[in-house]
Structure 1
């Protein structure tokens, strides 16, 4: 490129050294010189443009390198996250397997309980049928017997047991109480709780203060009848009154009140017997 700049000058010097030249020759040389200057100017501009483009390219290369480095860092981070995820997934699979085993064991236990319940329900139904077999259809209207987890519940209506507005046992209750005493004596090792219950109508008796008194007196009357008339061991008997506070029906209707006026006989096993019935060991004296 420098040779192109020097060539016109060399020619000009050679011409001068040889003497004067013709105007035509001079004009030609001047034209060539001007062309050379123009070419040189263009070349300089091109060089400057190239330098600028090169600087831009370098900047772009540096930016791209930064982007590549960032992409590599992101890729490494993603790979690390993936590795952790896979490791966590493996651990999760182990936990899921353990959980599945626990669920399977739980399902088996639940099925076991269902089977026991079905068996218990069947036995309870058989016991209930056997216990009520001796009761007449008339007595069944005033007596409700059911067995739950080895506990016998006998509910007696006050219409059958007591004289109206009284805690004295009625004459017609004798035959039914005799049959119930037979049931109690069949469960000779069980305790017996007699609970009196009333409706919410206040008692209007001068010798009875309130429904608490009435319910307790009625329970006591049944206990004494079982002891004195039907030879039930009094050590097994407990009398209690719950007044109007243990309703089984709404007291807003006559039907509901009738259902609430009742005496319940609960024949229940002792603690160790009860634990055996529900499949748990009885607590020792040291516990």
Structure 2
């Protein structure tokens, strides 16, 4: 009995010790797993911190580079401002004079425009006087106009000459007398008389070609204006333009008739214009 009791006691003791050891073992394992989990979490946090630290260091490096760049640019900007202040100080008077010159040129342009407008008005007045003097003539026979500041008087050759001739008709002298009367009232006017022909060739005992005919017709008009109506010869020029400046198609009879003409060109009086301009400036 005693042996049985002792054996039972020993069994219970071993059993109890075994139960306690298993519990402790489980607790230790659980603690170990918890520690491992915490360790892994700490490692992950460490890696994250190291990554953030690397990014922060990179940002710091970029900021340092930007600061260095800004400092360099700031130095350059300060130098440029210093140079600019020196330039402005040294050229202020020059800029002022330039502005004054611009203002003076603007006034000059305004005066020039006024003078040109007045000159155009004088030309229009001359045209009106000429048209009034020859107003009873057919518009196809005589045309008076202003083009680009120049006065033109176109007279049809059928009104001035017989066909192929450079002798002025009596009717033509009446027309030229009316024109001369207006021109005599403008003592400073200078003008050119141009002879124009069609493209039909001409050659006879008195004329070599259309050049010859156009020149002789122009000189005939100039002689009448000088000898019969007293226009000063130093204010006149005779020129032949032959067939080479047509104003109509030479393929038709009507076109050729239009091209056969004498043109009186009132030459621009540049000296008078500039005197007019000087008067405006005073």
TM-score (norm 1): 0.66
Q: Which residue of 2 aligns with 1:276?
A: 275
Give the direction of change, closer, same or farther, for the CA distance of 1:60–1:147 in structure 2 (3 Å limit). same
Give the direction of change, closer, same or farther, for the CA distance of 1:108–1:187 in structure 2 (3 Å limit). closer
Pairing 1:27-106 to 2, within 5 Å after superposition: 27-60=19-52, 62-63=54-55, 66=58
Q: Which residue of 1 aligns with 2:125?
A: 126
Give the direction of change, closer, same or farther, for the CA distance of 1:208–1:175 in structure 2 (3 Å limit). same
Question: Equivalents in 2 of 1:115, 1:236: separation in Å?
Answer: 27
- Say if 1:120 and 1:149, in contact at 8 Å, map to a contact too: no
Q: Is the deviation greater in 33-42 or in 235-244? A: 33-42
- Say if 1:193 and 1:237, in contact at 8 Å, map to a contact too: yes
State the Cα distance separating 1:223 from its structure 2 match: 1.3
Q: Is the deviation greater in 192-201 or in 247-256? A: 247-256
State the Cα distance separating 1:162 from its structure 2 match: 0.8
- Say if 1:193 and 1:266, in contact at 8 Å, map to a contact too: yes
Q: Which residue of 2 aligns with 1:166?
A: 165
- Residue correspondences, number: 239
Q: Which residue of 2 aligns with 1:22?
A: 13
- Say if 2:119 and 2:273, in contact at 8 Å, map to a contact too: no
Secondary structure of 1:256's aligned partner: helix
Matched, 1:189 2:177: no
State the Cα distance separating 1:245 from its structure 2 match: 2.0
Question: Equivalents in 2 of 1:236, 1:254: separation in Å?
Answer: 35
Question: Equivalents in 2 of 1:171, 1:135: separation in Å?
Answer: 16
- Say if 1:146 and 1:153, in contact at 8 Å, map to a contact too: yes
Q: Is the deviation greater in 178-187 or in 143-152? A: 143-152
Give the direction of change, closer, same or farther, for the CA distance of 1:59–1:131 in structure 2 (3 Å limit). same
Question: Equivalents in 2 of 1:109, 1:236: separation in Å?
Answer: 31
State the Cα distance separating 1:161 from its structure 2 match: 0.7
- Say if 1:184 and 1:267, in contact at 8 Å, map to a contact too: no
State the Cα distance separating 1:117 from its structure 2 match: 6.2
Q: Deviations over 1:178-212 (max 9, x none)?
A: 11222232222222211111222322445422222
Secondary structure of 1:265's aligned partner: strand
- Say if 1:203 and 1:210, in contact at 8 Å, map to a contact too: yes
Q: Deviations over 1:3-53 (max 9, x none)?
A: xxxxxxxxxxxxxxxxxx921224412430343134224312421332123
Q: Which residue of 2 aligns with 1:138?
A: 137
Question: Equivalents in 2 of 1:59, 1:275: separation in Å?
Answer: 86
Q: Structure 2: which 5+ residue stretches go unaligned? A: 1-11, 78-102
Secondary structure of 1:203's aligned partner: coil
Question: Equivalents in 2 of 1:33, 1:276: separation in Å?
Answer: 127
State the Cα distance separating 1:213 from its structure 2 match: 1.5
Question: Equivalents in 1 of 2:106, 2:249: separation in Å?
Answer: 40
Question: Equivalents in 1 of 2:272, 2:109: separation in Å?
Answer: 24
Give the direction of change, closer, same or farther, for the CA distance of 1:274–1:122 in structure 2 (3 Å limit). closer
Q: Which residue of 2 aligns with 1:92?
A: none
